[in-house]
């Protein structure tokens, strides 16, 4: 099982990577084109004993699928993973986020940008196939043209009623928008403990609910710190944190979503 962590630049992807693997991932400073995407195994094997490989990727921005920024080049490389973890930044709300590609903190907008970049990357992969003489036959060409049309009209392939591997059999292209996906809302530690309400806008939750996308709230920094100290399996926490996390660490919650979605089958 392979999982890729994606999201806009400076959203906390590498911190999530550390939380899940206990190792360090990408940092924008050390980014060299020749470097490979950091890959590590999860700290614990999956409940069925399966090895889970986790891949950290450089950050996306608007236009990544057209080659802008560091992240776009990796989109097709991670097209064969089984699950995408999309990290959206919600920490540092109310501050000007000079290190963020959009210069502000807005998880709903960022989740939409990621969807758009995945869709544009899929669309260009399909167009490339349709434009080449790949000999896939008229049936396959027609299926791909229909999928391309839907993606260009904003529909994600994962909502087309076909599983990612069924779509793959049909199209022979690994479509990013067909991948199962978990949204990770990366909040400040103070937000986790805040009693003034949930630390992310309702529209992000609504977007997740409408799309049937699991949404996990976490403070990646806190989880990364405890992952580096010890692997305790589940983290004891209390109060609001328990309500948000069920008292479990991020890896446990990711595994739980995978189990419910049949991804460990
Ligand atoms: N306050 C707070 N800061 C965080 C959290 N997660 C990450 N950060 C900080 O945000 C900055 C970026 O974190 P990274 O994990 O490197 O983000 P990234 O998405 O991997 O960044 P790129 O690889 O450059 O795209 C670092 O300074 C982190 O310490 C969090 O949960 N809370
Ligand atoms: Mg990184």
Burial of 142 (0-12, 13-18, 19+ CB in 10 A): exposed
Separation CA 70–CA 165 (nearest Å) = 28
Residue 23 has pLDDT above 80, yes or no: yes
Using one digit for the tens of pLDDT, what is the confidence trace for 162-220? 777 777 777 778 899 999 999 999 988 887 776 665 556 678 888 888 888 999 989 99
Does the domain at residues 2-260 carry the CATH identifier 3.40.309.10?
A: no
* The pLDDT of residue 33: 47
CB 86 less than 6 A from any atom of ligand 1: no
Question: Whose alpha carbon is nearest atom 12 of ligand 1?
Answer: 10
pTM exceeds 0.85: yes
Question: Whose alpha carbon is nearest atom 14 of ligand 1?
Answer: 12
Domain positions in the chain = 2-260
Q: Which residues contact 109 (CB under 8 A, 6 or more apart)?
A: 102
Least confident among 11-20, 51-60, 97-106: 97-106
Question: Whose alpha carbon is nearest atom 8 of ligand 1?
Answer: 12
Q: In angstroms, what is the span from residue 11 Cα to ligand 1's centroid?
A: 6
Residue 56 pairs in a beta bridge with 5
**In testing the pocket of ligand 1, which one of 9, 12, 98 has its CB within 8 Å of the most ligand atoms?**
12
């Amino acid at each position: 099982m392979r999982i890729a962590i994606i999201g806009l630049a400076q959203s906390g992807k590498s911190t999530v990577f550390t939380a899940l693997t206990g190792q360090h991932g990408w940092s924008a400073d050390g980014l060299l084109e020749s470097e490979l995407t950091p890959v590590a195994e999860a700290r614990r094997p999956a409940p069925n004993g399966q090895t889970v490989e986790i891949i950290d990727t450089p950050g996306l921005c608007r236009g990544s699928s057209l080659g802008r920024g560091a992240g776009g080049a990796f989109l097709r490389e991670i097209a064969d993973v089984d699950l995408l973890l999309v990290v959206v930044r919600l920490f540092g709300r109310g501050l000007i986020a000079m290190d963020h590609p959009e210069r502000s903190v807005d998880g709903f907008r960022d989740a939409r940008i990621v969807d758009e970049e995945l869709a544009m990357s899929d669309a260009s992969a399909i167009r490339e196939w349709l434009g080449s003489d790949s000999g896939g036959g008229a049936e396959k060409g027609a299926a791909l043209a229909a999928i391309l049309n839907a993606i260009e009209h904003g529909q994600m392939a994962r909502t087309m009623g076909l599983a990612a591997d069924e779509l793959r059999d049909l199209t022979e292209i690994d479509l990013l928008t067909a991948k199962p996906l978990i949204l990770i809302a990366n909040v400040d530690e103070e937000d986790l403990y805040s009693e003034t309400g949930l630390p992310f806008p309702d529209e992000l939750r609504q977007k997740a609910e409408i799309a049937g996308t699991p949404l996990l709230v976490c403070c990646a920094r806190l989880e990364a710190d405890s992952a580096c100290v010890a692997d305790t399996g589940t983290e004891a926490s209390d109060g609001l944190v328990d309500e948000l996390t069920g008292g479990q660490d991020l890896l446990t919650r990711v595994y739980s979503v995978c189990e419910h979605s049949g991804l460990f089958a």
